[in-house]
Amino acid sequence: MAAWFVYVVRCRDGTLYTGISRDVDARLAKHNQGRGARYTRGRGPVALVHQERKRSHGAALRREAVIKALPRHEKLRLAGATG
């Protein structure tokens, strides 16, 4: 069974986007080509600031939901950034 990844990217406008993928590099390329998630279209380029490996799709979805519910300052802490 292939691993899933939860990732957080910082958009050009400073906002953060959280998603899941089996291939984070390919997904980032899609975001940067304007073919990724609707949220990141027009906000690129995006830069990867955090990723976590998960054993299953369900585990990745659950962790994504937890991260999305965090306040911005906690997401920045998770990403190792300040401010």
Domains: count for the chain: 1
Q: What is the CATH number of the domain that holds 59?
A: 3.40.1440.10
Using 50, 70 and 90 to split pLDDT, how confident is the model at 29? very high
The pLDDT of residue 79 is above 90: no
Beta 4-10 vs 16-21: how paired, if at all? antiparallel
For residues 44 and 15, the answer to whether their CB atoms sit within 8 Å is no
Q: What's the distance, Cα to Cα, between the start and end of the chain in Å?
A: 38
Instruction: Tell me which residue has tokens 């993928």.
Output: 21
Give the structural domain span for 62: 4-78
Q: How confident is the model at residue 83 (pLDDT cuts 50, 70, 90)?
A: very low
CA distance 74 to 25: 24
Would residue 83 count as lying in a domain? Answer: no
Instruction: Indicate if the pLDDT at residue 1 is higher than 80.
Output: no
pLDDT at 82: 43
Q: Both tokens of residue 6? A: 């939860």
2 confidence band (pLDDT: 50, 70, 90)? confident
Assess if residue 24 is contained within a domain: yes
